[in-house]
Amino acid sequence: MQDPASPKEVVISTVARILVDESHRQAWCTKPEGAELMNPVHSAEASYAQLAVSTREAGFELIVHSEGLITDEVLA
């Protein structure tokens, strides 16, 4: 039995999964280098890079779908 005064172990699990579709001529990209290619002058305007960092830090799983159709397997 654990002593109630001792520190408790904290387990962080994934809150939810977020799927970002980058396979269909999107205007946004989760990678800074991709946003740079889309908008060389103002790459931050095409960037989801901060979204990617923030969601992962908050415990979400970020999945980038970069090619093909969104199928049941992709969504599973």
What's the total number of domains in the chain? Answer: 1
**How many residues are there in the chain?**
76
Task: Dump pLDDT digits (tens) for 28-67.
Answer: 888 888 889 888 999 888 888 888 899 989 989 999 999 9
Secondary structure of residue 65 in the 3-state scheme? strand
- Tokens 């002593």 belong to residue: 3
Q: How confident is residue 7, by pLDDT bands cut at 50, 70 and 90?
A: low
Task: Dump pLDDT digits (tens) for 10-38.
Answer: 666 677 899 999 888 778 888 888 889 88
**Cα 75 from Cα 57, distance rounded (Å):** 22
**Is residue 29 included in any domain, yes or no?**
yes
**Is residue 26 included in any domain, yes or no?**
yes
pTM for this model (two decimals): 0.66
Domain assignment of residue 34, given as a range: 17-75
**Is residue 61 included in any domain, yes or no?**
yes
Q: Which of 55, 54, 51, 49 is nearest to 17 (CA)?
A: 55
Angular region, 36: left φ>0, alpha ψ -120 to 50, beta rest: alpha
